[in-house]
Amino acid sequence: MGKVIFVSGIDTDVGKTVATGIYAKKLMEQGFSVITQKMIQTGCKNIADDLLVHRKIQGIDLTEEDLEGETCPYLFEYPCSPHLAAKLEGQEISEKIIEKSTALLVEKYDYVLLEGRED
């Protein structure tokens, strides 16, 4: 069973995405299996933009888990706060769905780097 490391910052555009990608790459270089995860991403359609940055830094293609939505269980088109985006798109955010996605990843990888904010 893998470990979850929460990569956090106090605001947007403080470097969480780049730091997460670099951290993942360094762990991979040490021989660990690593996946990154975003709980929620707004302002995009098919794949979370931050995951694209992570994979580029890691030097890997999108994973099966990326394509299946396990690495970002909530993706909203509206570029606003997650709760507002969910409301605008008629969805409700469930912590259980996020927890289930993380649990599935933890079963497959040595490390899951979970990028997010603490609020």
- Residues in the chain where the model's pLDDT stays below 70: 118-119
What domains, with CATH codes, occur in the chain? 3-117 (3.40.50.300)
Total-model pTM: 0.92
What is the pLDDT at residue 40? 96
**Which residues form the catalytic set?**
38
* pLDDT digits 0-9 by tens, 66-88: 999 999 999 999 999 999 999 99
Q: What are the distances in angstroms from CA 35 to CA 22, 23, 86, 118?
A: 12, 11, 25, 20
What is the pLDDT at residue 119? 58
